[in-house]
Amino acid sequence: MDKTEAFRKDPSYEFLNLANRYKDTVSFGIGQPFHLPPGEIFSGIKPSQKDVSSYSPALGLPELRERIADFLGQKYKADLKAGNVAVTVGATSALFMSMLLLVKDETNVYIPDPGFPMYRDVASFFGGRVTYWRANFNDDFKWDCQLEAINSEGGVVVINFPNNPTGTAASREMLECLSEASRRKRFFIVSDEVYEDFVYENRHFSVLEFPELLEGAVYIGSFSKTWGLAGYRLGYMVASAELIEKLENVAISMYGSPPTYSQLLALKALDYGLGWFEKVREMYKANRDLLVEGLSRIPGVEAYRPGGAFYVFPRIRELAKRLGARNSRELAIMLLERAGVIALPGDAYSESLGAYYLRFSFSLPREKILEGLNRLKKLAEGI
């Protein structure tokens, strides 16, 4: 078997490539922040400097690892050291290496449904036996923390809060329940928390707040989302010192070292702090409300209000019927061809629910959201 067959086409890039054939589109597609990072973090770093153009250690600059440990330790009241941190080339490589270390042939891997497609693909690539941990639309896409899908001890459970594509945020009760379940059923948790600062009504709850989980969990974070540094490809992971030590040779073989320039930017970003981000969060919250209210007024669309991330995952069964589409993929193509609107088909994120859902990102300017909603409404009403 060709092992690359485990990796399916990413719907974001598939539809963006398709959209390149069309002019005048409104894209609710790619999951990329549209806000800019503070300009101050770029000052004083010259690409021509020797310390900028040199390799860094494979696990990242020691001062950045220490700074991340301090930053997260203060944020989540966690006892972290530099030895618990690895700096990676984006959060995706952190996820890939976590799976490499934890998943063997026939390891049970439980992934959220709906969920980010990469979880399934990477688990399958390493020979894992994938089981879906399903959420319920009628309960605002909440997951059952009892994890009844787990019928044997051991394995890996992937969690992602706030969730892509549903925007579901975790509660303290959810994390406490997961902590208890992990002790009872002895599974390892991989927690993708890249949207941790995009929580709108309450606050984010992290696995790092539960000391008993540190030996049996990997936390994954990123500078792409909060800091708007997606193109600088810098993520990080937190785990036991033993697991991080094992990661070093893997990182050397995979990419040598994370980009030094990006790490120096990250140091300046952490020193600058997150005081500026509250206004950004309010902007995303307003975008969320605008999109949810607009989608809810379109005939055949059922939208709920997500608690986090920057996605809405509405049910579009009746709209698909109205327009003659058999599933979300046909409807997504129809929206692009007939309205110039890009939304991603739900079947990429959920094999059980995805046929009648679309993912809309609200990470775009307000005027673009209004324009896209107007186009959708006209199409749905046959104007």
Half-sphere exposure of 372 (CA within 13 A, CB side): 26
* Secondary structure of residue 231 in the 3-state scheme: helix
- CATH number at 3-30+277-380: 3.90.1150.10
Query: For 319-323, what is the mean pLDDT?
Result: 94
Please tell me the pTM assigned to this model. Answer: 0.94
Q: Check pLDDT > 60 for residue 8.
A: yes
Range in 204-218, 292-306, 327-341 with the lowest mean pLDDT: 204-218
Domain boundaries, the chain: 3-30+277-380, 39-272
pLDDT tens for residues 159-194? 999 999 999 999 888 888 888 888 887 889 999 999
| Rounded mean pLDDT, 14-18 | 78
- Domain 39-272: assigned CATH number: 3.40.640.10
Q: Does residue 91 carry a pLDDT above 90?
A: yes
Tally: H helices and E strands in the chain: 12, 13
Q: What is the mean pLDDT of the chain?
A: 91
What CA–CA distances, in Å, run from 49 to 22, 27, 45, 255, 376?
Answer: 42, 38, 8, 22, 50
Which residues contact residue 122 at a Cβ distance below 8 angstroms, ignoring those fewer than 6 apart?
6, 95, 96, 99
What is the side-by-side order of every strand in the sheet holding 142-143? 85-88, 235-238, 217-222, 188-192, 156-160, 108-113, 129-136, 142-143
Chain centroid to Cα 110, Å, comes to 16
Task: Average the pLDDT over 250-279 and give the result.
Answer: 95
Residue 152, pLDDT > 90, answer: no
